[in-house]
């Protein structure tokens, strides 16, 4: 009679709530699975006209007019793709010094946009420092016109002075700027892009880019040196370098519409010459997504 009495007692106690059913006492409850969505990335875009997409229509209506910022820049493409909480302080003609000081009246230093809550920072910067890269394009253009596209007059006039300035002045300025970004946004992923190719490996296209034929490899070498300085600065500061050398090869300003990512000086579609078009900006965004594995 003991076993029937024991079963009866368990049934009575269970019914009155004094003993939990066996199934409920077999182990701890599984933790509840959260169904709330992840918070959006806090994304800040810094940088110069290649990040602002200067000249690409339509302009960003929220930007200072002097910054020539486009609503189709690669940061805007990234922000739309990721659903980020987006702050854009890119500005045409920006140098690394404009991270620390106001570039124009009413335009704060770019570093002011960063905080400890920033998750992602992107930029192109360095091409305007010391006027070396843009200065070289202008100088080689003048020399090319004066020689009617023959020879290498720009290289003969300037030698390795442009590349020396990049190594000795631009590189340390990039390191300083990137270190400051990490101090302001210590939890952020910081990505700096190289510049897409402006001229092909050789020959060129004098009618569109009035660079003497022999100076085309000279300018290409200068851009390679600049991109290498960006790469080395990224490595020295724990930043991510987004390499555009391979991706942009064959998409330079000498290529036809629909292929080129950068617009030429003459016969182009962008009022701001020697700058990426909308296709180029989308391509830059794709490279950032791949390099950072963004969703």
Query: What residues are labeled active site?
Result: 49, 275
Q: In whole angstroms, what is the distance from residue 67 CA to residue 274 CA?
A: 17
Cα–Cα distance measured from residue 275 to residue 264, given in angstroms and rounded to the nearest whole number: 8
Positive or negative, the CA dihedral 142, 144, 148, 151 is: positive
For residues 40 and 32, give the distance between their C-alpha atoms in angstroms, rounded to a whole number.
22
Q: Which two tokens stand for residue 63?
A: 């930007």
Phi, psi torsion values for 239, nearest 5 degrees: -95, 170
Strands (DSSP E) found in the chain: 42-45, 85-88, 120-123, 189-193, 240-242
- The rounded distance, in Å, linking the Cα atoms of 21 and 8 is 14
């Amino acid at each position: 009679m003991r076993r029937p009495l024991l079963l009866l007692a368990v049934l009575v106690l269970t019914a009155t709530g004094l003993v939990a059913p066996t199934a409920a006492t077999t182990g701890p409850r599984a933790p509840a699975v959260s169904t709330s969505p992840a918070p959006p990335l806090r994304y800040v875009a810094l940088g110069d006209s290649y990040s602002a997409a200067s000249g690409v229509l339509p302009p960003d209506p929220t930007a200072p007019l002097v910054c020539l910022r486009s609503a189709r820049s690669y940061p805007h493409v990234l922000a739309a793709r990721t659903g980020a909480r987006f702050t854009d302080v890119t500005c045409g003609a920006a140098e690394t010094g404009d991270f620390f000081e106001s570039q124009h009246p009413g335009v704060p230093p770019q570093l002011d946009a960063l905080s400890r809550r920033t998750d992602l920072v992107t930029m192109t910067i360095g091409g305007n420092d010391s006027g070396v890269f843009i200065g070289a394009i202008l100088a080689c253009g003048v020399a090319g016109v004066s020689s009617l596209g023959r020879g290498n007059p720009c290289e003969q006039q300037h030698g390795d002075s442009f590349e020396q300035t990049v190594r000795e002045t631009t590189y340390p300025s990039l390191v300083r700027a990137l270190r400051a970004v990490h101090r302001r946004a210590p939890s952020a992923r910081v990505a700096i892009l190289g510049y897409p190719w402006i001229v092909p490996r050789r020959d060129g296209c004098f009618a569109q880019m009035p660079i003497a034929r022999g100076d085309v490899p000279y300018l290409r070498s200068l851009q390679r040196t600049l991109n290498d300085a960006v790469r080395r600065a990224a490595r020295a500061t724990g930043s991510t370098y987004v390499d555009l050398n391979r991706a942009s090869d064959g998409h330079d300003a000498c290529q036809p519409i629909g292929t080129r990512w950068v617009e030429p000086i003459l016969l182009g579609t962008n009022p701001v010459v020697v700058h990426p078009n909308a296709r180029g900006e989308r391509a830059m965004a794709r490279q950032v997504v791949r390099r950072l594995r963004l969703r």
